[in-house]
Amino acid sequence: MTGGAGYIGAVLTEHLVRAGHHPVVLDRFFWGRKALAHLQVETIAADLREAREEWLDGIDAVMHLGGLSNDPTAEYNTEANWQMNAVATERLVELCKRRGVKRFTFASSASVYDTELSASEMERTPSMCDETTALAPRGAYSLSKVYAEKAILAAADETFAPVIFRQGTVYGWSPRMRFDLVVNTFIKDAVIHERLYLHGGGWMWRPLVDVNDCARVHMMALEAPLDRIRGQIFNVLEENYQIRQLAMLVAGSFALKDAQIDLVEMPLPKLVRNYRMSNAKLSQALGFTPSVTVLESIENMIGKLPPPEELANPQYYNVRWMTLLEEIHASQRGFASIY
């Protein structure tokens, strides 16, 4: 599994171990090894772009979650994003085919549906996207995911059965926790600021899914008949929510604990995302519907939060942590990038 120590990867690794599988984690461990410390798994500390064919010896399935995740992280270094998310994925597929690996799961993103919207379109509920919806992505992250998807699908044949999961915005607790994803961010802001910020009123839509349901869908691909997954794309979400709804759910959960959380309206940012998607194909073809609700996940996260003073730790935020690593690396080795 590439990216097995990341936000989703650490949860998936734990699911795999509990189910009796023997995952081999390929990761650069930018966030350290703490997320996997409670598990006994084989690891390869290396850059995905330098993947070697011999690393696939004895491997019967590859779960590809590695690379830079989400738009802010990708925009932080667009060239590294392209190398890791697009080019390295294409090469990994080639290595898998040469080594006879049949099963291949790919963590793509719902952001591929995120197209430019006019002001009038922003005022309407966006249409529902399914796996046949035409794509016109914007931004480095979604563009790299679309390229990777095309490379993966082009490689599918009778001996290679890849499956693509277009995951909604992920929420929930992970051993490699993040507080730069919308629901998780709202929980952090509720604790630190006692207020939640709604840009443009928070009326825009997003498809969302819990991190454990993301792990479960990749697990299902290990057991599914190859003909059901070969060359297929599946949307993965629990439900579509307006950002305002999410804020109200978080504020309501804190209200039950006698904490008053204010909702504060802010101006719209330059880049506005507003889209919904359907998970009907996933439910019908694989018999799986993500079921961990936002409310359940909020309650779980609140119960596991570190002390408030620790919530500012840059390790919980992708771009902040990358920036810090760059500064440390530059001070020790000149101006060479960690990428």
167 in a domain, yes or no? yes
Give the mean model confidence (pLDDT) for residues 174-191: 97
91 in a domain, yes or no? yes
Q: Please provide residue 109's backbone torsions phi and psi, each rounded to the nearest 5 degrees.
A: -140, 145
pLDDT, mean over the chain = 92
Residue 71 has pLDDT above 90, yes or no: no
pLDDT in tens, 89-102: 999 999 999 999 99
Measured in whole angstroms, the distance separating CA 223 from the mean position of its chain's CA atoms is 22
2 in a domain, yes or no? no
pLDDT value at residue 76: 67
pLDDT in tens, 8-67: 999 999 999 999 999 999 999 988 999 999 999 999 999 999 999 999 999 999 999 998
Tell me the pLDDT band of 334, cut-offs 50, 70 and 90: low
pLDDT value at residue 326: 78
Give the mean model confidence (pLDDT) for residues 250-269: 95
Residue whose entry in the numeric block shows the structure tokens 């929980």: 187
339 in a domain, yes or no? no
- Residue 263: how many other CB atoms lie within 10 Å: 16
Provide the number of structural domains found in the chain.
1
Residue 339 has pLDDT above 70, yes or no: no
pLDDT value at residue 68: 80
Tell me the pLDDT band of 333, cut-offs 50, 70 and 90: low
DSSP string, 260-329: --EEEEEPPPSS----EE--HHHHHHH-------HHHHHHHHHHHPPPGGGGG-GGGSHHHHHHHHHHHH
Residue 289's domain comprises: 7-333
Q: What is the CATH number of the domain that holds 110?
A: 3.40.50.720
Contacts of 27 (CB under 8 A, 6+ apart): 2, 3, 4, 5, 6, 9, 43, 44, 45, 66
Tell me the pLDDT band of 120, cut-offs 50, 70 and 90: low
266 in a domain, yes or no? yes
Give the mean model confidence (pLDDT) for residues 173-184: 97
Cβ atoms of residues 77 and 325 within 8 Å: no
116 in a domain, yes or no? yes
1 in a domain, yes or no? no
Give the mean model confidence (pLDDT) for residues 100-123: 80
Tell me the pLDDT band of 177, cut-offs 50, 70 and 90: very high
Tokens of 214: 């993301």
Cβ atoms of residues 211 and 11 within 8 Å: yes
Tell me the pLDDT band of 338, cut-offs 50, 70 and 90: low
pLDDT value at residue 337: 63
Residue 128 has pLDDT above 60, yes or no: yes
Cα dihedral 103, 109, 115, 120, rounded to 10, equals: 130
- Partners of residue 236 on adjacent β-strands: 167
pLDDT value at residue 163: 98
